[in-house]
Amino acid sequence: MSTQPGPPRQEPIGLYIQRVAKELNRAFEVELSAVGGNVPTWLILVSLKSGKPETQRQLADAVGIRGATLTHHLEGLERNGLVARERDPNNRRVQKVALTDAGEEAFQRMFKTVVAFDSQLRDGFTDKELETLRKLLGRLTE
């Protein structure tokens, strides 16, 4: 086998995205932890705030994790007083998860951080460029 001529082979686009995502994720984790948060907590709180998920099943799907994994995280959040769970009287299989006041405050702190982080990321990009980026990324997972 001989070395191929021509331009050097480019890194696979998938791996490149992983690398960028990993770097962004680490920076994001640092920012969130500075206000006492972490990524799964943020994803769960923001899903709860959106008000859409009615059940833990839906919440798990929204966050992209398994039910058992969600239970694990909710236990931590409940232990830290950020959420409260109570059975739905109409369907006692369902646990209704709600933010406590402390959870609301935690959410607000993280929200500020996320907005600042995002605005810093967007900095230097035009709206059109960001739109292009979103569209191209979206087509990758269609």
- Tell me which residues touch DNA (CB under 7 A): 38-40, 55-58, 64-75, 85, 90-95
Contacts (CB under 8 A) with a second copy, residues 116-135: 117-118, 121-122, 124-125, 129-130, 132-134
- Pick 34 or 115: Cβ nearer a second copy: 115
Alpha-carbon torsion, ordered 79, 84, 89, 94, to 10 deg:
-70
In the set 7, 14, 51, 89, which binds a second copy (CB under 8 A)? 14
Number of H helices and E strands in the chain, helices first, is: 6, 2
d(CA 79, CA 70): 14
Tell me which DSSP letter residue 29 carries. H
Q: Give the one entry of DNA, a second copy, none that residue 141 binds, where binding means its C-beta sits below a cut-off of 5 to 8 angstroms depending on kind.
A: a second copy
Question: Taking the complex as a whole, how short is the minimal distance between the CB of residue 90 and a second copy, in angstroms?
Answer: 27
Q: What phi and psi values does residue 91 have, to the nearest 5 degrees?
A: -150, 95
